[in-house]
Amino acid sequence: AAAAATAVSAKPAAAAPLSADRSVVRLGLPSKGRMAELTLSLLKSCQLSVRQLNPRQYTADIPQVPNLEVWFQRPTDIVRKLCSGDLDLGIVGYDIISEYAQGNDDLVIIHDALDFGHCRLSLAVPKEGIFDSINTLEDLLNMPQWTEERPMRVVTGFGYVGAKFLKEKGFKHVSFLAGDGALESYPAMGMADAIVDLVSSGTTLRENNLKEIEGGVILESQATLVASKKSLNRREGVLEISHEMLERLEAHLTASGKIMVNLYIFLCHTITPD
């Protein structure tokens, strides 16, 4: 068990050397969860239909793009595998990149607004009790309740960005508890004072008697196309495939009235050395 524990690190994978024994380009797509189907339908709208022979297989292809392998992975693993050099491109939410790449500068977002998976990562507290008159981050920061012995207990699946945000905002007495889901239940169970979680419609917060506070949005997220800079610079075909995907995404999103926010591109000359 000790050996296993040392093999698993909370830190992002260090930028790995590019594996030379692979000539095919790899794109990671979400294998399940709310992003999975939306990703496939966006690609389909861009005439980039993914062909998966068997729904239990994790690999597929896009006939219009030769030399590209699609790998279905959990979003967190897409980011980890981009960092380790085992994927070259991926489609994932910006929230997941922020949390799991942890500033790894090998990752580059080449399209930051694919127009689905919109949500925000937000700090929320109970509507009532000691939080009755707490409406801003400053109110929360100035609450006398938080001390070294009794810190504000925050439950989240976003320990890295959550802690970074609160530290930057001047919170000193905070402890974090990791949770995977149904985080909105923790305050009512007496296990946490606040939560840092994704919010979209706000219904889940409301139904659990929680509220967001002014200044408490940590980040805004939607689906993005992300690449390994090393792959873009050095693996044959990655730049061309990125270009092709971006052109098709741009054509589709522009036709549906969306503005391209960040065509990182292009690309050809602007990728900085890794």
Ligand X SMILES: O=P(O)(O)OC[C@H]1O[C@H](OP(=O)(O)OP(=O)(O)O)[C@H](O)[C@@H]1O
Ligand Y SMILES: Nc1ncnc2c1ncn2[C@@H]1O[C@H](COP(=O)(O)OP(=O)(O)OP(=O)(O)O)[C@@H](O)[C@H]1O
- Chain contacts with ligand X (rule: CB under 6 A): 181-182, 184, 197-204
- The partner in contact with residue 117, picked from ligand X, ligand Y, none with C-beta cut-offs of 5 to 8 angstroms by kind, is ligand Y
35 near ligand Y, rule: CB under 6 A: yes
Looking only at residues 120 through 179 of this chain, which bind ligand Y when binding is defined by CB under 6 A?
Answer: none
Residues that contact ligand Y, how many (by CB under 6 A): 17
- The partner in contact with residue 75, picked from ligand Y, ligand X, none with C-beta cut-offs of 5 to 8 angstroms by kind, is ligand Y
33 near ligand Y, rule: CB under 6 A: yes
Give 34-42 contacts, CB < 8 A, sequence gap 24+. Answer: 34/117, 35/75, 35/91, 35/92, 35/93, 35/116, 35/117, 35/223, 36/72, 38/116, 38/117, 38/223, 39/91, 39/116, 39/223, 42/114, 42/115, 42/116, 42/223, 42/249, 42/252
Whole-angstrom distance between the N-terminal and C-terminal Cα of the chain?
A: 36
- The partner in contact with residue 170, picked from ligand X, ligand Y, none with C-beta cut-offs of 5 to 8 angstroms by kind, is none
The residue at minimum Cβ distance from ligand X is: 181
- The partner in contact with residue 221, picked from ligand Y, ligand X, none with C-beta cut-offs of 5 to 8 angstroms by kind, is ligand Y
Looking only at residues 58 through 77 of this chain, which bind ligand Y when binding is defined by CB under 6 A?
Answer: 74-75
**Cβ 261 vs Cβ 112: under 8 Å:** yes
Min CB(30)–ligand X separation in Å: 12
Tokens of 42: 């966006």
- The partner in contact with residue 172, picked from ligand X, ligand Y, none with C-beta cut-offs of 5 to 8 angstroms by kind, is none
Min CB(151)–ligand X separation in Å: 23
Q: Which one among 43, 119, 195, 246 touches ligand Y, defined by CB under 6 A? A: 119
19 near ligand Y, rule: CB under 6 A: no
Min CB(74)–ligand X separation in Å: 13
34 near ligand Y, rule: CB under 6 A: yes
Among the listed residues 25, 39, 24, the one whose alpha carbon sits nearest the alpha carbon of residue 224: 39
Which distant-in-sequence residues (6+ apart) come within 8 Å of 88 by Cβ? 25, 26, 27, 82, 227, 228, 231, 232, 235, 238
- The partner in contact with residue 202, picked from ligand Y, ligand X, none with C-beta cut-offs of 5 to 8 angstroms by kind, is ligand X
Min CB(31)–ligand X separation in Å: 15
**Cβ 193 vs Cβ 171: under 8 Å:** no
117 near ligand Y, rule: CB under 6 A: yes
How far is CA 149 from each of CA 142, 159, 162, rounded to the nearest angstrom? Answer: 16, 20, 21
Kindly provide the residue ranges of all beta strands, DSSP E only, lying in 62-209, ordered along the sequence: 68-73, 89-93, 107-111, 119-126, 152-156, 174-178, 194-199
- The partner in contact with residue 126, picked from ligand Y, ligand X, none with C-beta cut-offs of 5 to 8 angstroms by kind, is none
Instruction: Enumerate binding residues for ligand Y (CB under 6 A).
Output: 32-35, 74-75, 93, 95-96, 117-119, 180-181, 198, 200, 221
